[in-house]
Structure 1
Amino acid sequence: MTRRHLRRTHLLNFDDPAIRCLIASRGWGTLLPFERIGAAYDFVRNEIAFGYNRDDAISASEVLRDGYGQCNTKATLLMTLLRALAIPCRLHGFTIHKALQRGVVPEIAFRIAPQNILHSWVEVERDGAWVNLEGFILDAPFLSALQTAFEGRTSLCAFGAGTDCLSDPPIAWNGSDTYIQRTGINGDLGRYDDPDAFYAAHAQAFGLVRGFLYRHAIRHWMNARVAGIRRGRVPAIPGGVRAAPQPDAGLRAGAH
């Protein structure tokens, strides 16, 4: 453990009043370290819905205010909560193939999306070893909708999931590694002390026009799709990944 794995940064702004209020109201500071990790992890996994923010490089307080996030922004919030709870952590950066986002990204936008998308997970220090945490990305209702739609399917690399064990992915905090998008990874960008350093070295290759379209139109379209999937409306996509019919799907979970 080193001081740099506990420090505050611009993105890891754990002194923000909303962050401090959350931790105090939940009583997380009174827990043992193992339980602190689990409490922060479960909050980010299920109380911050899967969705797409305006940018990867936004502060933890903005992610909390949005109430939703994807791999990179949820990682920022999780790291912030962990450091506020005196749990050392760092970031491991990757790229994933855009196929993992197929079905969430509308097909017309998928065609112009970059082939490689920035991805990250959190590494937390526990008992002198580093544990990989990635299973916090998809909230339970969204993952449950995918499991229902693709019942009987072992692997899935689409709709925001990248796993070879869809029915029972390793997502629960029990002291071991957790994953939900791992099989979509196609590049390793290394470890960083904080997300600020990661985004200083790497930026999503949208370009000006695609970046503008993503922030102001496409991500809202994607979030609407995520909400529909959460309610059981899983669209068919090219390549043979089709959901089984779910006659009563619209009556299941509500959208976030």
Structure 2
Amino acid sequence: MAPTVSYLTATRLLDFDSPSISNLIRDRGWHDLARVDRIGAVYDFVRNEIAFGYNRVDDIPASAVLTDGYGQCNTKGTLLMALLRSVGIRCRLHGFTIHKALQRGVVPELVYPLAPSEILHSWVEVETEEGWINLEGFILDAPFLQSLQKEFSETESLCGYGAGTDCLSAPPVSWSGGSTYIQKTGIVRDFGTFETPDAFYAEHEQKFGRLRGWLYRNIIRHWMNARVRAFRAGRLKPDASVAHLHGGETHAT
């Protein structure tokens, strides 16, 4: 008989026993909230108080994401899972790849050809009273998403700037008790569910190669983060290279 999976354990990546995470949860009073409100409070924190941005690698602990103060799908997902488990919410990871076109505009055109054709992606599945739901809409913080909506106001389908959606004007990203999405239309491959991000990264890793990996960690991601900050602040206009993606021809479903 297979052992029961708790979906509540701490791990190297889900280090919710670290002082920074323990103190955050105590200070916010999340344990005192009703179950649905606990999920919503943690979700809103990760979505909007952890800005959209790129960490050095995917498999960093939740406490490191909290310290950075920014993250992307995989790293913000690790933090979300750690916070949820710490307040007694069962959750797991669902792994995928997405088409690299979804990062176009954030990745400078000069280095875009160096990017792998598929990028490792994940969302968080959370157990509610109605069953398991998918949480992906936390990736883009509200100010960044609002900048996207302003600059691409004439389209509903967008694959670029970290978004993969067919309803850009009103994507399902706010917590209301159900699933949320912001990169769903860019999915290429489905790897299934994993109890922890540790297990996911033990089987799957982003294959950059040694040189491209070094360039990404030390140069390219800083360039990408600068572009994200500039776009969020309205100082960077959309690349013309992204405009032709509005029709969705690059979407993979």
Same fold (TM over 0.5): yes
TM-score band w.r.t. shorter chain: over 0.9
Deviation at 1:216, TM superposition (A): 0.2
Offset, 1:3: 4.5
Q: What is the distance in 1 between the residues matched to 2:144 and 2:150?
A: 10
Paired with 2:199 and 2:42, the residues of 1 have a C-alpha distance of 22
Report what 2:250 is aligned to. Answer: none
- Measured in 2, the distance between the counterparts of 1:45 and 1:239 equals 24
| Correspondent of 2:199 among 197, 200, 204 | 197
- Residue equivalent to 1:52: 54
Give 1:77's match in structure 2, choosing from 70, 74, 79: 79
1:148: which partner in 2? 150
The answer to whether the 8 A contact 1:236-1:242 is kept is: no
CA distance in 1 between partners of 2:242 and 2:227 (Å): 19
Corresponding residue number in structure 2 for 1:27: 29
C-alpha contact (below 8 Å) 2:160/2:245 kept by paired residues: no
Deviation at 1:123, TM superposition (A): 0.1
The answer to whether the 8 Å contact 1:100/1:159 transfers is yes
Distance 1:235 1:128, change over 3 A: closer
8 Å contact from structure 1 (residues 235, 242) kept in 2:
no
Quote how far apart the aligned CAs of 1:152 are: 2.4
Amino acid at match of 1:19: I
Query: TM-score under structure 2 normalisation?
Result: 0.93
**Is 2:109 aligned against 1:107?**
yes
Name 2:239's counterpart in structure 1: 236
Q: In structure 1, how many angstroms separate the alpha carbons of the residues matched to 2:20 and 2:5? A: 24
Q: How does 1:158-197 map to 2 (within 5 A)?
A: 158-197=160-199
SS of 1:96's partner is strand
Separation (CA, whole Å) in 2 of partners of 1:4 and 1:112: 40
- The partner residue of 1:222 within 221, 224, 237 is 224
- Cα shift at 1:236: 1.6
Alpha-carbon distance between aligned partners in 1 of 2:57 and 2:171, rounded to the nearest angstrom: 27
CA distance in 1 between partners of 2:72 and 2:119 (Å):
12
Contact 2:62 2:79 in 1 (8 A): yes
Superposed CA RMSD in Å reads 1.3
What are the superposed Cα offsets for residues 201-243 of structure 1, whole Å, 9 maximum, x if unpaired?
0000101000000000000000000011101223323253499
- Find the aligned partners of 2:158 and 2:238 in 1 and give their Cα distance: 14
Distance in 1 of aligned mates of 2:211 and 2:230: 27
Q: 5+ residue gaps in structure 1?
A: 244-256
Distance 1:219 1:23, change over 3 A: same
Determine which of 83, 88, 101 is the counterpart of 2:90. Answer: 88
- Between the two proteins, the alignment pairs up a number of residues equal to 242
Q: Distance in 2 between matches of 1:3 and 1:9?
A: 14
